[in-house]
Structure 1
Amino acid sequence: MRISSKGRYGIAAMICVAQLGRNGDFVTVISISEKLGISKIYLEQVFSLLKRSKLVNSVKGSQGGYHLAKSSERITAYDILQAVELSLFEKTERSVSAQAEGIEKSISSLVWDKLDESICEVLKNTTLRDLVFEAERNPDDDSYMYYI
């Protein structure tokens, strides 16, 4: 499965908002951009879609930024991808011509429909809280602390 950069950045950015905004602080696009190494302009497009889907709230101004509109337990990877990956959840196109309707139905019912269901199940069962927890289990740098 191939998720666009918008989808990948959307999930990564939401993890940052959840981590950096734990105390109710608003998280700026600049701070997320610096942490992830992603263009600020591109992230603003992603946040526009996240805001439209009511996953984040925003405040303008020097103390402004974004914070989660709901708790991280109530936001799923499915919610995030559905907000930013506009074509990801479209039905698969026909594989063969209308002359082979039986083959088309068998491919759809045994492959495409089951694949769609499996993907949606995984995405719906993965919460933003799960993603934050996993991100914190994997520190950003590979350095080790040595005590003498």
Structure 2
Amino acid sequence: MRISSKGRYGLAAMISVAQLGSTGDFVTVISIAEKLGISKIYLEQVFSLLKRSKLVTSIKGSQGGYQLSKSADKITILEILQAVEISLFEKTERSVSDSAMEIENVLKNLVWGGLDNAVISSLQKVTLGDLVSEADKVKNSEDFMFYI
């Protein structure tokens, strides 16, 4: 499975919003772009999709920015990817002609349907809160300085 840059940036940006906005502050696209090393213009496109899906809210102006619309523990990775990865969740097109519908049905039911269900099930199990928690663990483990 291949996730586009929009999907990867969307996940990374949402982790950043959850981390930087944990006190309830709005987080600017500029601060996220600088932290992640991602184009501000591209991130604005990603946030437009996230806002349309009601995963983030925004305020305009000098004190503006984005914040999560609900708790990070209530946002699944599936929701984030569905907001920014339109083609990832499209149904597989037909493989064979009408004269071989039994083959088409087998592929649809046992292969493509199974894959779709497995991906959706896996992405529903992981929340943004899980990603933030893991990122914090990694960050904290890198903060140790050992002297001999």
TM band (smaller chain): over 0.9
Report the counterpart of residue 65 of structure 1 in structure 2: 65
Identity of matched residues, %: 68
* Alpha-carbon offset, residue 81 of structure 1: 0.6
Higher helix share: 2
SS at match of 2:82: helix
**CA-to-aligned-CA distance 1:39-96 (integer Å, 9 cap, x gap):** 0000000000000111001011111110000001110001101111112111101122
Report the counterpart of residue 125 of structure 1 in structure 2: 125
CA distance in 1, matches of 2:7, 2:136: 21
TM-score normalised per structure 2: 0.94
1:141–1:63 distance in 2 versus 1, CA, 3 Å: farther
Report the counterpart of residue 77 of structure 1 in structure 2: 77
Report the counterpart of residue 19 of structure 1 in structure 2: 19
**Pairing of 1:1-148 with structure 2 (within 5 A):** 1-139=1-139, 145-147=145-147
Paired letter, 2:102 = G
SS at match of 1:132: helix
- Listed as ranges, the gaps of 5+ residues in structure 1 are none
CA distance in 1, matches of 2:144, 2:87: 42
TM-score normalised per structure 1: 0.94
SS at match of 2:67: strand
SS at match of 1:88: helix
